[in-house]
Amino acid sequence: MQTIYLDNNATTRTDPDVLAEMLPYLADLYGNPSSMHTFGGQLHKKIEEARAKLADLLKADPSEIIFTSCGTESDNTAIMNALETHPRKRHIITTRVEHPAVLNFSQHLGRKGYRITYLPVNDAGRLDMEMLTRSLDDDTALVTIMFANNETGVVFPIDEIAGLLEGRGILFHTDAVQAVGKLPIDLNTLKVDMLSLSGHKLHAPKGIGALYVRRGGRFYPYIIGGHQEMSRRAGTENVASIIGLGKAAALARGFLTEEAAAVSRLRDRLEAGLLGSCPDVRINGDTKNRLPNTTNISFEYVEGEAILLRLNEYQICASSGSACTSGSLEPSHVLRAMGVPYTAVHGSIRFSLSRFTTGEEIDRVLQVMPGIIRELRQLSPFGRGSLTL
């Protein structure tokens, strides 16, 4: 049985072309790019080529890209940079539906005495813009709002938020880990100050990320040590993965429009098929402003984990909530913030597709799902009709 991988918001397959480009730098070309000798020093040029490719995908200047170890590091760095830039300001605005890389770090800063505003979302997962406007004050150092939600795929109005903040002396960071490679992003026109991304969400390997920092402001490094990355992020460069991320960015640029349309057609087919074949099913989140590859579906009166286990028997990989919180059996903080009913939160499954997803794979899921749901509902103590909550 072939694995059907529909968990691409958790991580993606490394593209074979990315891997091929990386391999020499994991084998023979193992030098240190900071070395004086040619063997190491030649790698410096490869890093700069990768930086240029990533900048090209984002329509940024290469000097605005800092390589990091992951999306989480990029998020933490961006937040700390804002606080260092505005040492007298103590207020951060974010949302209730951020990834833990922002949410838990904000809570950590809250415990250290910073004032954190967590903006609510409505039942479609859309941001309350009025509340954002009302929350801004002279003490606000940073607004950090994700580009697209990892659980529902809902895309936030980053352009509108940037417009609202322009000229107010407040830094704007967006966690675009789920958006880069899936949506076109033009940082020439999109006025964000900082943007985080992560290699393993766009077919590069795990353990490589980047932070975009707009030219003009000061930058305070978070990881302090050597002079790598123009003294903006210390630590010997992860050369092979940086080269891989550059290649992944170049591939994403080529695939972006066509791929996004093909992937969203498959996602829509999956959704329509499930809605048509399983009763008591709902799609969570704004279906108009959504990543092309993501659907978050609630199967009422069943446990999401039970569905995942049954899917696993067919070698179908999906996810309930975010991979970082699944396993804790805590209901998704994103769906709770959206006010999704208890029975629907517990039966929610995220399917996230990629350019490697095929129509046959979607058909296979549609073939097995109705039986799984029927069976589980018969077994469930929360079976349809017996729930009194």
Q: Is 207 left (phi over 0), alpha (psi -120 to 50) or beta?
A: left
What is d(CA 180, CA 202) in angstroms, rounded to the nearest whole number? 7
Give the range of 67-75, 136-144, 244-252, 313-321 binding ligand PLP by CB under 6 A.
Answer: 67-75
CB of 379 to ligand PLP, least distance (A): 31
Give the range of 24-32, 172-180, 243-251, 376-384 binding ligand PLP by CB under 6 A.
Answer: 172-180
Taking CB under 6 A as the criterion, the residue among 178, 238, 294, 298 binding ligand PLP is: 178
Taking CB under 6 A as the criterion, the residue among 18, 47, 71, 361 binding ligand PLP is: 71
Query: Which amino acid, residue 3?
Result: T
Pairing of the two strands 316-317 and 348-352: unpaired
**Residue with structure tokens 């402003």?**
289
Give the range of 13-21, 87-95, 173-181, 364-372 binding ligand PLP by CB under 6 A.
Answer: 173-181
Taking CB under 6 A as the criterion, the residue among 66, 155, 177, 243 binding ligand PLP is: 177
Residue 140 or 198 with smaller CB distance to ligand PLP: 198
Query: Which amino acid, residue 297?
Result: I
CB of 175 to ligand PLP, least distance (A): 5
Take residue 341 and report the two structure tokens written for it: 């009913």
Taking CB under 6 A as the criterion, the residue among 7, 21, 64, 175 binding ligand PLP is: 175
Residue 18's alpha-carbon distances to 11, 214, 250, 256, in angstroms, are 15, 27, 10, 16
Residue 98 or 300 with smaller CB distance to ligand PLP: 98
CB of 325 to ligand PLP, least distance (A): 10
Q: Which of residues 196-215 bind ligand PLP (CB under 6 A)?
A: 198, 209
CB of 101 to ligand PLP, least distance (A): 4
β-partners of residue 198 are 209
Query: Which amino acid, residue 30?
Result: Y
DSSP 209: E
What is d(CA 282, CA 341) in angstroms, rounded to the nearest whole number? 11
For residue 214, give the nearest of 237, 181, 191 by alpha carbon.
Answer: 191
Task: Give the distance from CA 166 to its chain's centroid.
Answer: 25
Take residue 359 and report the two structure tokens written for it: 């129509």
Catalytic site residue 317? no
Question: Does 146 participate in binding ligand PLP (rule CB under 6 A)?
Answer: yes
Residue 177 or 260 with smaller CB distance to ligand PLP: 177
- Its sign, for the CA torsion 218, 224, 227, 230, is negative
DSSP state letters, 230-257: HHTS-S---HHHHHHHHHHHHHHHHHHH
Residue 76 or 117 with smaller CB distance to ligand PLP: 76
Residue 193 or 300 with smaller CB distance to ligand PLP: 193
**Residue with structure tokens 């073939």?**
367
CB of 210 to ligand PLP, least distance (A): 10
Residue 145 or 345 with smaller CB distance to ligand PLP: 145
CB of 327 to ligand PLP, least distance (A): 14
Q: Which of residues 83-142 bind ligand PLP (CB under 6 A)?
A: 99, 101
Catalytic residue among 70, 278, 317, 324: 324
How many residues in the shown chain lie near ligand PLP by CB under 6 A? 13
Residues 221, 235: contact at Cβ < 8 Å?
Answer: no
Residue 64 or 75 with smaller CB distance to ligand PLP: 75
- Compute how many other C-beta atoms are within 10 angstroms of the C-beta atom of residue 33: 18
Residues 59, 199: contact at Cβ < 8 Å?
Answer: no
- Residue 167: which residues within 8 A CB-CB, separation 6 or more? none
| Closest-approach residue to ligand PLP (CB) | 71
Residue 290 or 377 with smaller CB distance to ligand PLP: 290
CB of 70 to ligand PLP, least distance (A): 3
Taking CB under 6 A as the criterion, the residue among 14, 72, 81, 241 binding ligand PLP is: 72
Residues at the site binding ligand PLP, with contacts judged by CB under 6 A = 70-72, 75, 99, 101, 146, 150, 175, 177-178, 198, 209
User: What are the residue numbers of the active site?
Assistant: 324
